[in-house]
Structure 1
Amino acid sequence: MKFIYILSVLPFVGILGFLPFVNRVTPFVLGMPFNMFWMVIWVVLTSIILGVMYKLDPRNREGEEE
């Protein structure tokens, strides 16, 4: 299995794996409870990770011969 496909496991581990450890309300970040901020930051990071996977995937480079 290629390394770029292993990157797709990071959002799963980040959201569900670490949720019991970050399940607190008291520290507010950007006006949100920390638990909600954790979910929002992982939504953004998931988009970035999927973009990196798309750019690194050799199957997407077949039509870029210029």
Structure 2
Amino acid sequence: MKSYYLLAIIPFIGMLGGAVFVNKVTPYVLGLPFLLFWILLWIILSSATMGIIYKLDTVNKGGNS
């Protein structure tokens, strides 16, 4: 297994592991309760992480075979 595949674990830890610690309602960010903002942030960061993995993966560098 390639080491950059381990980047896929980061969104899992951030969304599920971090939700335990940020489960608060009172601080609002962009008009959202902090937990909802946290989940939306990790959805965006998950897409960015998967894009990085896609760019680093050598299988995707092939031609139109």
The number of equivalent residue pairs is: 64
Percent of paired sites with the same residue: 50
Deviation at 1:55, TM superposition (A): 0.4
| Counterpart AA for 2:43 | V
* RMSD (Å) for aligned C-alpha atoms: 1.1
Deviation at 1:3, TM superposition (A): 1.8
**Aligned AA for 1:27?**
P
Give the TM-score of the pair, scaled to structure 1: 0.91
How far residue 56 of structure 1 moved from its aligned partner, in angstroms, is 0.4
Shift of 1:38: 0.1
For residues 23 and 54 of structure 2, what CA distance do their matches in structure 1 show?
32
Aligned AA (2:11) = P
Deviation at 1:37, TM superposition (A): 0.1
Offset from partner CA, 1:9-55 (integer Å, 9 cap, x none):
01110011111100001110000000000000000000000000000
Q: 2:37 matched to 1:14?
A: no
Q: 1:15-54 alignment to 2 at 5 Å?
A: 15-54=15-54
Higher helix share: 2
1:58 is matched with 58
Q: Give me the TM-score of the superposition, normalised by structure 2.
A: 0.92
